[in-house]
Copies of this chain bind each other. A is one copy, B any other.
Amino acid sequence: MATYRSDEGWDALGDPTRRAIVACLAEQPRAVGELARELPISRPAVSQHLKVLKDAGLVVDQQAGTRRVYRLNPAGVAALRDQLDTFWRRALDSYQDVVDQTTEEDS
């Protein structure tokens, strides 16, 4: 089956807390402590999530004094988006067949 090399990316976005982090970083780059303050979890938990997101290539970090600022990685996000886009296009093709055959509704 078409190899996902971005498996880690999907796994990373599979967690609601990590999606919240991503959404937060989409607004603006933030340090670890700032993220922890806006989320209902402890700072170590944020660190662990950031490690997953970083390994997946979805975020990048940058040392700034004693703080460490994280931001979204455009390339990583784009990779996942492109995959969905591919699925979407293929789905449209199959959908065309449905229109031809029937206009049934399911439960």
Interface residues in chain A, defined as those with a beta carbon under 8 Å from any beta carbon in chain B: 1-2, 4, 7, 10-11, 13-16, 19-20, 22-29, 60-63, 71-74, 77-78, 80-81, 84-88, 90-92, 94-95, 97-98, 102, 104, 106
Chain B residue contacts of A4, Cβ below 8 A: 19, 23
A88 with B78: CB separation less than 8 A? yes
Chain B residue contacts of A72, Cβ below 8 A: 87, 90-91, 94-95
A19 with B10: CB separation less than 8 A? yes
What is the chain B residue whose CB lies nearest that of A91? B72
A71 with B87: CB separation less than 8 A? no
A24 with B1: CB separation less than 8 A? yes
Chain B residue contacts of A11, Cβ below 8 A: 14, 16
Counting every copy of the chain, the complex holds: 2
**In the complex, A20 Cα to B34 Cα: how many Å?**
36
Chain B residue contacts of A24, Cβ below 8 A: 1
Given A7-B19, A22-B87, A29-B97: 8 more A-B contacts, CB < 8 Å: A23-B87, A26-B86, A26-B90, A60-B106, A62-B104, A77-B91, A81-B81, A84-B84
